[in-house]
Amino acid sequence: MQTGKITALYARFSFDDGIDTESGSIEHQKALLKNYAESNGFTNLSYYADDGYTGTNFNRPNFQRMMNDIKNGLVGTVIVKDMSRLGRNYLMVGQYVEIDFPKYDVRFIAISDHVDSAKGMNDLLPINNLMNEWYSRDISKKIRSMVRQKGNSGQHITSKLPYGYYNTPENKQDWQVDEEAAEVVREIFELYVHHAMGTKQIALQLQAEKRVGVEYHKKIRKGIAVTAENIYLWNSRTIASILKRQEYVGDTVNFRTQIASYKNKTVIYNESDKIRIFPDTHPAIISRELFQMAQDRREKTIRHPSRPHKYLFGDYLYCMDCHARMHGRRCGTKSENALYCYECTTYRKSKGCYFHGVPEKYLETEVLQAIQSVIYKANANPDEFYKTIQKRVEKKSDDCKAVILAELEKSQLRITEIDKYIQGLFEAKVRGEIDGSLFASLKRTYDEEKEQLNVLVAELIGKLHEKNESVNKVKLFMQAIKTYDAVTELTPQVLADFIEHIEVGKCQNTSKKLPFSKRDNAVSVFFWGIGIF
């Protein structure tokens, strides 16, 4: 019976299987497998166990380790408690049992199902495998339904709390603020919004301050000893993920992602129309105003040059003609008195547009004057100022909404028409009025148009959401005005508080002999929520 090769005792357990925890546990399976192997004369026993892995996933660490040993000729027999412990995918289980194991001359035994390849395979084995897969699918449906019900009722459904919060085993719905981590979260948002620092710069500063990294902080909080050298390591990706978490203002955000299917565990990021948000469900770490300012800045696709000179307007400038970003560069001499300016990206790459080069000093003067003018008018008559911009924003928002709603209705009607046309094509094919190839060609055309329309509908719904936030942006702008009695110089924080973006046009003086330092480009300053004032 024995060949000197390993007798692999494989065990797998997952709560998704819906089996009794005690009888299905890894330890219980190991005991059963050992007892069976010793009673039947198997020796050279080796355990392979995967705890917490669903049967539809075959990328399990110890299962793959066992398969590598099989392919290397080290294993002579594989024993499992039952077929479902090997897996719950009908096709994959059949592949291993009927093709892979025989290929490497491996005997396979499933104790409870009375399967032993040395005695011949049971004709009902494929049906048993199929039933195991159906069982897994049914469990998956029940779990999804439960999660959907919890998510729609406003309960937290995430299995991983955002950095800065903790809960207790007794009540996982009760999120409490972890003050030590919350202090770091607040610092990240402050550095990003009010100091115009990029994610990489913030990560480097946190490292310099010896702030414990996210994962290591969670381990320390659980009482796990940590001795890693990179305990203070932070990176741009971690900072970016913190900046976009709406949970920090106290909201529950459900259905941000979903799994493709019970077989395919690929994570899919949902569109905004599928995400459910429930406000004020737990203590907030930052204010909504600070979070909104961070999101507005993130949407600009910010570029942080690695040059010694800090380009003050690098995150705000756009070309007035082609609307491309404008990036900073050194102009002229390389001495200490070098002139810094900004150029249109399209022109710089020789892809068209005009030369919109503008000196940084000129921009500082123009933008500072615009901010000072707004503050003066707001302080002179606050009530009148607020009413004026409120009416202006509401009218602009309503006009935009009307256009968007009209386009949205038009797109949705067209999608309904396409569905009717496809149904008509199918009925014509059934009646024999058109052949299969023509049906497929026409349906493909309609499907492509429908897909494009669905993308457009999602974009239009997103734009409607943006328009609904205009009132909040006006409040943010008024709050910024109250913060400053006067502005005498431009700083990253001043720009972040007042400016949404700036557009730069062509030079107004058309003289070809005009020195670059004397340029007077057209400049439009767009303030938060109100646009050009």
What dihedral do alpha carbons 225, 230, 233, 238 form, nearest 10°?
A: -70
Tokens 């609904």 locate to 468
Report the distance separating Cα 504 and Cα 362, nearest Å: 11
Name the nearest CA neighbour of 189 among 243, 233, 108, 131. 243
Among the candidates 407, 430, 462, a domain finishes at 462
Residue 285, pLDDT score: 94
Co-location of 378 and 395 in the same domain: no
The reply to whether 1 falls in a domain is: no
Q: Count the neighbouring beta carbons within 10 Å of the beta carbon of residue 220.
A: 14
Cα–Cα separations (whole angstroms), residue 202 to 161, 191, 197, 234, 297: 22, 7, 6, 9, 15
Q: Which of 87, 116, 141 is the last residue of a domain?
A: 141
Q: How far apart are CA 186 and CA 11, in angstroms?
A: 46
Give φ, ψ of 501 to 5 degrees. Answer: -165, 170
Q: Domain with 10 in it: what CATH number?
A: 3.40.50.1390
* Same-domain status, 294 and 219: yes
Quote the CA–CA distance of 199 and 189 in Å, as a whole number. 10
Is 304 part of any domain? no
Burial 362-396 (b: 16+ CB within 10 A, else e): bbeebbbebbeebbebbeeeeeebbeebbeebeee
- Does residue 147 sit within a domain? no
Q: Are residues 288 and 396 in the same domain?
A: no
Q: What is the chain's Cα-based Rg?
A: 32
- Identify whether residues 357 and 282 lie together within a single domain: no
Same domain, 331 and 292: no
Q: What is the pLDDT of residue 387?
A: 78
In a domain, 161, yes or no: no
Question: What pLDDT is attached to residue 262?
Answer: 45
| DSSP letters for 261-296 | -SS---EEEPPGGG-EEESSSS--SS-HHHHHHHHH
Dist CA 242 CA 63 (whole Å): 35
Answer yes or no: do 521 and 401 share one domain: no
Q: Are residues 125 and 193 in the same domain?
A: no
In 3D space, the residue among 203, 210, 207, 212 whose CA is nearest the CA of residue 242 turns out to be: 203
Is residue 401 located within the same domain as residue 512? no
- DSSP class of residue 516 equals G
Could you tell me if residue 311 is inside a domain? no
Q: Do 254 and 210 belong to one domain?
A: yes
**pLDDT in single tens digits along all 533 residues of the chain:** 456 799 999 999 875 554 544 446 888 899 999 999 999 999 999 999 998 888 778 889 999 999 999 999 999 999 999 888 888 776 788 888 888 899 999 999 998 888 888 887 665 555 555 555 555 555 556 556 666 777 777 788 777 889 999 988 778 888 999 999 999 999 999 999 888 788 888 999 999 899 999 888 988 888 887 777 788 889 988 999 999 999 999 998 888 776 654 454 566 667 777 788 888 889 999 999 899 888 888 876 545 444 556 778 888 888 888 888 888 887 765 544 567 888 888 877 777 787 777 888 889 999 999 999 888 888 888 888 877 777 776 666 666 667 777 888 888 888 889 888 888 888 888 888 888 888 888 888 888 888 888 888 877 776 666 555 555 666 667 777 777 777 888 888 888 888 888 999 888 776 666 676 677 788 999 887 677 87
SS3 126: helix
Going by the DSSP 8-state scheme, the letter that residue 183 receives in this structure is: H
Tallying the residues shown for the chain, one arrives at 533
Residue 472 lies in a domain: no
CA distances from 41 to 7, 34, 83 (A): 11, 11, 22
pLDDT of the residue at 258: 66
Which helix (H) or strand (E) covers residue 430, if one does?
helix 382-430
- Write out the residue range of the structural domain in which residue 440 sits: 391-462
Residue 482 sits in the same domain as residue 357? yes
User: Could you tell me the two tokens for 385?
Assistant: 């100022």
Distances (CA, A) of 126 to 17, 103, 153: 19, 19, 41
Q: Are residues 125 and 266 in the same domain?
A: no
CB of 189 within 8 A of CB of 243? yes
Q: How many domains does the chain have?
A: 4
The structure tokens listed for 454 are 């669905």
- Residue 402 in any domain: the answer is yes
Domain end marker among 90, 121, 141: 141
Q: What is the pLDDT of residue 23?
A: 47
DSSP state of 117: G
| Residue at 468 is within a domain | no
Measured CA to CA, the distance from residue 136 to residue 127 in angstroms comes to 14
Same domain, 373 and 408: no
pTM of the predicted structure, to 2 decimals: 0.44
CA 430, CA 206: separation in Å to the nearest integer? 67
